């Protein structure tokens, strides 16, 4: 019988220690080290051996960099343009893709739709560990997808799963989910740090060596990050996150990491009775505004991955009821909101210290880039003065601490996208103004916050 071995592993970076300590010496995280139990001895070829062999497959001969083949790897389309966009143009042979999301977001539904259509042309194996085969079959029938070519397996043992995969030789392998998989050589329970890490190492190595496209479904924590060790995200080639609130019919698929394409790429889907349907023009659904202009509402252009997208931002200011005014931001960074309010007071002459400030990005979109600064301040000024802005106006630009309006990347592409949707006026940084006039679009260039506020007064 193999001797049991106890180790202490950091849940963030996967570093091993012989005893517990408060801080990880590798990633400097506090209280991230937990005890795991494995099997020692050289006679057992466990998952730890798989990890030492590397995630990129078998070892190759040494060669100079200029001898490496630069031939572009062929892509396999999933049949969904939005899905392909997030993946960087399609699936790549031997790639490992990790899909995360909250319970009920639609992870299994999206993968089942894509794999059922892919199975008509490419051998595919769907491994479920959380649901029974009957439950998956009932969902497939409800979605109305072709089911005759997809192979199914209900299994949680990684060793047994790989035996079946070696016999079936699928080109696409889906594991739902990685948190319920377990390796026999590890004594800890499924879902623990060691089990998730070693199970993923086994599956990723198999995908690299055989050229199999691997999909791993992962759980998320309360704060929305992927559950399990941080090393899990380093193993895989592509990490995507499916987001969407329970009260919204729309789901956003965002690329967090991608070795074969652009990161932060965004795909939008609508949840219907027949499953997830791609939305090819996201700007149209996020611009469902009322017929009458309302104070505190303005449209901005954000850049998601490789394309611009128009979204509406709303602001509401009201007299504070307590001693401490509230600052609430939904879809935006709350700390940046506080900073912009200070800039508005210092360089715009507007005192809002006695006001509760609420800002929201319509449609549940999360905006992380700084191009929303000027539009956010315009919405706040509009609500404070109770004066609506024109509905044909679009605004974008970064605001600095000294009150200057800074340019943003791909400024002209943003203006062209706004003109394509019928907007006729744009308030933008001067450096982003196009050199040639755009037909039907009046561009208002500004360099300082005071100029932008004066331009809003004249509209």
Task: For the chain, give the number of residues.
Answer: 459
**108 annotated binding-site participant:** yes
In the DSSP assignment, the letter for residue 370 is G
- CA proximity to 364, closest of 299, 312, 432: 312
Given the DSSP bridges, would you call strands 75-76 and 91-92 parallel, antiparallel or unpaired? antiparallel
Given the DSSP bridges, would you call strands 238-243 and 250-258 parallel, antiparallel or unpaired? antiparallel
Rounded distance between C-alpha atoms, residue 299 and residue 16, angstroms: 50
- CA proximity to 52, closest of 205, 191, 159: 205
Residue 195 CA from chain centroid, whole number: 25
Q: How distant, in Å, are the alpha carbons of 160, 312, 410 from that of 224?
A: 31, 24, 29
Whether omega before 209 lies within 30 degrees of 0, making that bond cis, reads: no
Residue with tokens 């506080």: 338
Q: Please list, in sequence order, all residues whose beta carbon lies within 8 angstroms of the beta carbon of residue 148, skipping any fewer than 6 positions away.
A: none
**102 annotated binding-site participant:** yes
Q: Please list, in sequence order, all residues whose beta carbon lies within 8 angstroms of the beta carbon of residue 180, skipping any fewer than 6 positions away.
A: 129, 130, 156, 190, 191
Q: Please list, in sequence order, all residues whose beta carbon lies within 8 angstroms of the beta carbon of residue 266, skipping any fewer than 6 positions away.
A: 86, 252, 253, 254, 255, 282, 304, 305, 309
Angle between helix 334-348 and helix 449-458 axes, rounded to 10 deg: 80
**106 annotated binding-site participant:** yes
Q: How many CB atoms lie within 10 A of CB 254?
A: 18
The alpha-helical segments, DSSP class H, found in 317-445 are 334-348, 373-385, 411-420
**345 annotated binding-site participant:** no
- CA proximity to 311, closest of 240, 396, 233, 250: 396
**101 annotated binding-site participant:** yes
Order the strands of the 33-39 sheet from edge to edge.
16-17, 4-10, 33-39
**132 annotated binding-site participant:** no
Q: How distant, in Å, are the alpha carbons of 55, 59, 211, 273, 321 from that of 208?
A: 7, 11, 5, 36, 60
Angle between helix 373-385 and helix 334-348 axes, rounded to 10 deg: 70
3-state DSSP percent of the chain in helix, strand and coil, to 5? 30, 30, 40
- Known binding-site residues for ATP equal 101-108
Binding-site residues sit at: 101-108
């Amino acid at each position: 019988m193999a001797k049991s071995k106890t180790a202490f592993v950091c849940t963030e970076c996967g570093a091993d220690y012989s005893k517990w300590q408060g801080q990880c010496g590798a990633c400097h995280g506090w209280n991230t080290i937990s005890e795991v139990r494995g099997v020692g001895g050289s006679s057992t070829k466990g998952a730890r051996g798989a990890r030492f062999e590397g995630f990129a497959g078998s070892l190759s001969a040494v060669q100079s960099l200029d001898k490496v083949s630069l031939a572009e790897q062929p892509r396999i389309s999933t049949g969904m343009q939005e899905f392909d966009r997030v993946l960087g143009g399609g699936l790549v042979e031997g790639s490992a893709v990790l899909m995360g999301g909250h319970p009920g977001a639609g992870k299994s539904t999206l993968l089942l739709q894509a794999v059922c259509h892919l199975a008509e042309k490419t051998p595919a194996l769907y491994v479920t560990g959380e649901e029974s085969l009957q439950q998956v079959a009932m969902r497939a029938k409800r979605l109305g997808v072709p089911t005759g070519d997809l192979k199914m397996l209900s299994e949680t043992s990684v060793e047994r799963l790989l035996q079946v995969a070696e016999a079936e030789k699928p080109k696409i392998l889906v594991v739902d989910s990685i948190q319920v998989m377990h390796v026999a050589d590890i004594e800890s329970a499924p879902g623990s740090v060691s089990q998730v890490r070693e199970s993923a190492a086994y599956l990723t190595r198999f995908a690299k060596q055989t050229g199999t496209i691997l999909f791993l479904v992962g759980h998320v924590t309360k704060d929305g990050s992927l559950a399990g060790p941080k090393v899990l995200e380093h193993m895989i080639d592509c990490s995507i996150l499916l987001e969407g609130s329970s009260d919204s019919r729309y789901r956003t698929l965002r690329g967090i990491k991608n070795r074969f394409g652009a990161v932060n790429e965004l795909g939008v889907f609508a949840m219907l009775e027949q499953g997830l349907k791609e939305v090819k023009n996201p700007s149209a659904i996020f611009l469902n505004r009322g017929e009458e202009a309302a104070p505190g509402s303005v449209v901005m252009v954000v850049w998601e991955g490789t394309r611009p997208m128009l979204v509406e931002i709303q602001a509401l200011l009201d007299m504070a009821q307590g001693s401490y005014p509230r600052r609430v931001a939904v879809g935006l960074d709350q700390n940046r909101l506080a900073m912009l309010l200070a800039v508005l007071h210092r360089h715009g002459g507007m005192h809002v210290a006695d006001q509760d400030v609420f800002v929201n990005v319509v449609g549940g979109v999360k905006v992380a880039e700084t191009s929303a600064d000027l539009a956010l301040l315009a919405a706040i000024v509009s609500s404070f003065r109770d004066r609506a802005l024109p509905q044909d106006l679009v605004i974008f630009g970064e605001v600095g601490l000294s009150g200057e309006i800074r340019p943003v990347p791909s400024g002209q592409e943003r203006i062209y996208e706004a003109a394509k949707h019928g907007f006729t006026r744009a308030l933008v940084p001067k450096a982003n103004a196009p050199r040639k006039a755009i037909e039907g679009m009046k561009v208002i260039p500004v360099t300082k916050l005071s100029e932008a506020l004066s331009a809003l007064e004249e509209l």
